[in-house]
Chains A and B, each alone.
Chain A
């Protein structure tokens, strides 16, 4: 125990010249003769501090106290203490120790003097002036202003982590004041003039915040406990926050380990695998990858399954990647009806709440976070090279070989198009943050730069973000704040074409990429001018930039006379401007054919949100009441102009000379939707044991039919903290147990504007040489189109074992989505092939579990595992309600929707291998021959007909999991994150031998059947080998995978090394992303939706954080 630690019986009393609560006004002294009162009075009168043991002072009666008669403080004290057994010592004319005149008293005096001297020494150091002479007390008294000034003591101490290591940069704040500091590199802090009764708040990212009462101590040591989803963590729940223990709904938080020290380009990457039941799929790779988010499976067949994203309380309609992940403090996912019901019409697909960082009281902190990464492709398919392609073609269609192919084959100078289209990528990110607080204002200001050079040539991405988060308390009852984000996004540059018949994956290798001058060829295949150079885009002039402002400003009124009543006005504005321009000159096929080809488009998106939120939050005895009412208004508008021009006089001025082009086609787009919502929520908790949440929301959306614009979405949730019950055993292994159940209705507005309106689209004609504007019917409207609704039941258990050493939760849910917004295929006889209607029903059931375990917590070595898993089952319950003769509902084969089966299934003929030589006879009966594809005759009727089509697996996963392990030893920490997705079957299109007539595109190298090599793996190389009786079968493969998503090794230089540098944090890390994948999938990557596209990258990252 440190020397300065105060003995418990010591009080340092501070007196305030004027009693702030008006209990004892100075001039109304009532002549009580009790010593305590007298001491207090002297303290007021002479502006001095007393230190004493309360036991010896209490109950001492002073015979006479005549305050106006004394010369000075010593005179007063001598007189007062004369008749007692007490003595005093005066130090620096300001500090008075009262002690008992015996041996014990002397001992305590020594200690008290020591304490006081320490304080005085510190003050001396600071003031560099020492007063030891006695003051002329009368003068002193006259000068003394009886001000409202707390005279306090200094508090210092050390903050360490559980391993006993000092923590640097811990925020130490005096509760209820703006006074605060941060620990230095040795974990020490010092606060001056702290009220003895004050409470210090210690907070540090990743650790539980602690409140420590000073209790008169001048030295306080604190051990911070790591924050592993602590019980009393405050969780953002939408239109407010709640203690985790009070939650009734299913709200999952993304662990901070997924947000820090991982090279996330956007927050979706942080969510992947981190929350059970949330699917994040990288649908396309590249500098700015495409991502799909889905919570608890696919509810909707045709409407969107995207969750609602809410940033700092305001629905966010922008791109996720415009939010700098470095600015994000927390991500919460609302999964069940109760949690999401507050977002009513848009809650059915779940809600993701993103909260950005804010400043904290205390001195300004500046920090830098940055990383640099090298990117390489994970896997490439094996396409045939020129020689193999030539032989393949020779075998398949020898007369289709053209002169130039032959020439190139003979010269050996064929092209590896993929190799030309790829390069080594890199990405880097730099973030600079300044945050802090003064007086009644807190600020967080950050700037970030992200630059990615993707794996594909000319595929670049640059993002600059700025965030200004400010909160200021103008009056005790009035707070103003802003969450403002500015960003610039630059995707200029066109990458090579990957997919399609002009793409690198399909391009004939027996071609030329460069001409004799070293320029990219316009027509790489001399004999087939249909083909253009897949790298053509790299020659185009291209601008693709967007500019966005997202500003959410709010005002909070805390009604002074009703405790807990608050009104909050949120006003959010998002404005995004997108500017795209492309020009293909005559050095490209498109530009040459069109004599210059320009396309320009500019679009503006803006949304406005106004929310009025009234809340009442009050603890009355054992009753905790939290009532919220919202009235909100949202408006979204987008409009754009475009211009395409062809036939330019020259290439010099690119699109700038569009006015001189021969064909100039302008275009305009417009969309506007509005949403009006009303919401009421009541959260009630009794004694932290019984919890209730009632929610109702009513929404009106402009996109729906005249009679069906409004929808009502109620929900109910109950919670029971069993472990808080009196009967619950105190020392149970299962130390925490909570049951939750919720049921409610959510909506999916799912459709854009104008879906209910039948309309025509332009289809123009010419008469002679002039344009004749024309229209044809293009969409069928549905007057009573309305909400798609989801009824959702959730049963959950939260638990903690062994004093929360293991903690986690388990959820079961059942959701029924009905009145689906179905873009249903209708008979082509209508002349229009689809219509959106409210029909059908789907069901999702699932089990989700997450657990965090502190496996080892032995001092310097720690090992924490957090894992989650979700099992989900999805099926179509009903479609149009049309029954067959047996009373079973009819499937919709045209759309490949089957009752009782998942929404997205594969459907087609079953590939059953290859007809072998000894099966020639049977093959002949089907009109085919050995070496050709064998398609399963399911009904064995001797012909392959539509009835032989089967459901072959599903496209959405059945099981997903994520697991993070962190091992740390002293300053070194290693974490490994695994992600698994199972039960997915997809068509691997990459292998297809559909090389066009005349073998005009490439395919992968395969083990083709030949009479000499009669295998069952792949049919022979023959123009008709992939069909049997005119039909073909897809190559379905299991696209399940387990991926080591991230491995991160970090080292905190901290502590000893940074001494005297002024830097209080310095951390470096190395991260590897997508390093290994285990899968049976033989395509590009099981996660990517397009298999002929930019391959997924693996990254090696070096990162650095420091702050001062």
Chain B
């Protein structure tokens, strides 16, 4: 019967059709980008580097979308920064014994973040070196130069991440592979810290060869910054000669120079040369900041603009200062915006200066406020006058008694003004969007001085230190005053709330001693084991087939 034939045909059609529809099951996502497609051209690598820089920039942002400052981990719990109000990592710095543990979210988040940077850099490096189908053309440079520049930046930032990792955890797994679905490991081992540092060294040595002193785009790491890191690395490895070599590469580079004169956006207002480079509009090299080796870029209401919370984390809650039941101070532009005082300067750090030192002036460290009227405070409203006060009167901050467990949450505590910055249209804004000097030449001088001191050349060391001191009108010091503590003091005077103070102190073997001495809210409780952070439990737990050793002293 004809019909039966038709049915048979129909049935066979049902089961034969899939043969030709295989292709229909192939995924062709129009909206996703893969390493394969992105890293086919030089421009693709540039976007990969942009992503990497944006990851690095998180150091001055909140971790994992919170308002817990990442940089807190490297700055707080030291001789010059102390927990004023517990939050995020500030809990650890206040209570090392209990909070510095493998479950601490701030510590494990930092670890994960740094390896994210490592993997992003590894991916760029692996793609750039293993593929031969890449179109390296672009820009004004040649193809080889483009490739090397890409590798240089990726390697510089990878070593930057390992710098954090080695200071934070000591021996860490050295991962130089691009992570793929096919190379998941459950048997990571911790590589000796010296081996990791040698890798950093080779990355940085390669990088400095191919990077410009003046980065083509603001925000990118410069040759000087990498050489600076090399000099610090040799200090760690106790090779002062090499420190001097690399420090001088930076210092003697005509592109870089200390800011000794007033310049830029506020040069007509009262101030000191030292603070000019921290003002919005002055920080970039293009804006006159010759001292800058690396300037991080932020921008308000711009895609990719990020948002730093340095000011928020540090600036005192001055609006909460209460005089006879009146809270006089408004958030204003001049006051730099709103702060929540999670970490503050230690009393020692405030008192660490000679009176005439620019770095201790009210321009650099806020020690008083003047009551302003509506015109002066605009666009904010006028300050509220407590009984008996009038506009123009001064409200002094207090630091005669140091911050301690029994005396914290201090709203009237002096604070560094390096991060004063807010948005005119939103004075409540949590984040700040000014470009920020991340690494500057003054620190290179201080590394050099340290190397000179280690070499026994105290005269030279004093001379180097005095270059820095002179700029801020501190009195010159004689050679016999130079010792490691003086250098650390000077570093604090110059770099407070800029440098990774914890690392500096660890590097010089002074952390435990000085944190116990100068930090009275938690510092006195720090122990030997706290010089390293514990490996996060999630890292240990995920290492199924090979036990990952914990740092000594942690459960």
Contact = CB atoms under 8 A, between A and B. Distances in A.
Contacts of A105: none
A768 B29 contact: no
B261 interface: no
Nearest to A679: B14
A753 B115 contact: no
Nearest to A567: B10
B26 A702 contact: yes
Contact of B181 (A527, A669, A835): A835
A765 B18 contact: no
Given A757-B34, A946-B537, A629 B14 contact: yes
Contact of B219 (A765, A783, A927): A765
B432 interface: no
B527 interface: no
Given A594-B426, A830-B184, A774 B51 contact: yes
A829 B173 contact: yes
B144 interface: no
Nearest to A944: B555
Given A670-B31, A1027-B98, A772 B304 contact: yes
A775 B91 CA distance: 33
A217 B251 CA distance: 118
Contacts of B26: 702, 706
B25 A399 contact: no
Interface residues of A, number: 99
Contacts of B185: 827, 829-830
Interface stretch (B225-233, B293-301, B438-446, B490-498): B293-301
B140 interface: no
B7 A402 contact: no
B118 A774 contact: no
Contact of B119 (A700, A706, A832): A832
B542 A825 contact: yes
Contact of B304 (A646, A670, A765): A765
B50 A765 contact: yes
Contacts of B186: 826-827, 880, 882
Interface in A642-697: 646-647, 662-663, 665, 668-670, 672, 674, 676, 678
Nearest to B99: A1030
A403 B57 CA distance: 37
Contacts of B340: 530
Given A825-B542, A829-B115, A946 B102 contact: yes
B25 A676 contact: yes
Contact of A997 (B24, B33, B86, B544): B86
B181 A764 contact: no
B409 interface: yes
A765 B46 CA distance: 11
A767 interface: yes
Nearest to B101: A1030
Contacts of B184: 780, 826, 830, 835
A900 B91 CA distance: 38
A646 B543 CA distance: 44
B537 A767 contact: no
A562 interface: yes
B14 A759 contact: no
B311 interface: no
Interface string A808-835: 0000000000000000011111111101
A191 B101 CA distance: 86
B25 A709 contact: yes
Contacts of B50: 763-765, 772-775
A614 interface: yes
Contacts of A830: 115, 119, 175, 179, 184-185
Contacts of B320: 402-403, 527
Contact of B298 (A565, A766, A776): A766
Interface string B106-126: 001001100111111011000
A561 interface: yes
Interface stretch (A618-626, A888-896, A1071-1079): A888-896
A758 B98 CA distance: 40
Given A676-B18, A829-B188, A830-B184, A760 B325 contact: no
Interface string B1-44: 10110010011011101100110111101111111001000000
Contact of B11 (A614, A646, A698, A946): A614
Contacts of A399: 407-409
Contacts of B325: 403
Contacts of A561: 1, 3
Contacts of A670: 29-31
A408 to B, nearest CB: 14
Most A Cβ at <10 Å: residue of B111, B305, B541: B541
Most A Cβ at <10 Å: residue of B31, B34, B181, B543: B181
B18 A700 contact: yes
B159 to A, nearest CB: 15
B304 A764 contact: yes
A440 interface: no
A529 interface: yes
Contacts of A663: 301-303
B62 interface: no
A87 B184 CA distance: 103
Nearest to A633: B21
A164 interface: no
Given A703-B27, A757-B34, A827-B539, A773 B322 contact: no
A769 interface: yes
Nearest to B104: A1030
B208 to A, nearest CB: 21
Interface string B53-97: 111010000000000000000000000000001110001000101
Contact of A777 (B53, B120, B426): B120
A631 interface: yes
Contacts of B549: none
B4 A595 contact: no
Given A780-B181, A882-B544, A946-B555, A774 B112 contact: no
Contacts of A767: 217-220, 297
A992 interface: no
Nearest to B43: A773
Contacts of A567: 7, 10
A771 interface: yes
Contacts of B428: 529, 592-593
B202 interface: no
B429 interface: yes
B305 to A, nearest CB: 5
B7 A828 contact: no
Nearest to A522: B428
17 contacts: A595-B426, A614-B7, A614-B14, A670-B31, A763-B51, A772-B46, A772-B47, A776-B120, A777-B179, A826-B542, A827-B185, A828-B112, A830-B184, A831-B117, A831-B119, A831-B179, A946-B102
Interface of A: 397, 399-400, 402-403, 527, 529-530, 559, 561-562, 565, 567, 592-595, 612, 614, 629-631, 633, 646-647, 662-663, 665, 668-670, 672, 674, 676, 678, 698, 700-703, 706, 709, 753-754, 756-760, 762-777, 780-783, 825-833, 835, 837, 880, 882, 890, 892-894, 927, 943-946, 996-998, 1024, 1027, 1029-1031
Interface of B: 1, 3-4, 7, 10-11, 13-15, 17-18, 21-22, 24-27, 29-35, 38, 46-55, 57, 85-87, 91, 95, 97-103, 108, 111-112, 115-120, 122-123, 173, 175, 178-182, 184-186, 188, 217-220, 284, 286, 297-299, 301-306, 320, 322, 325, 327, 338, 340, 407-409, 425-426, 428-430, 536-545, 555
8 closest cross-chain pairs (CB), A and B: A831-B119, A764-B304, A774-B50, A774-B51, A945-B555, A1030-B98, A631-B14, A894-B541
Given A892-B541, A944-B555, 20 more contacts: A595-B426, A676-B24, A698-B18, A700-B25, A702-B26, A753-B29, A757-B29, A765-B57, A765-B219, A776-B51, A776-B54, A783-B182, A827-B188, A828-B542, A830-B119, A830-B175, A831-B117, A946-B102, A1029-B101, A1030-B98
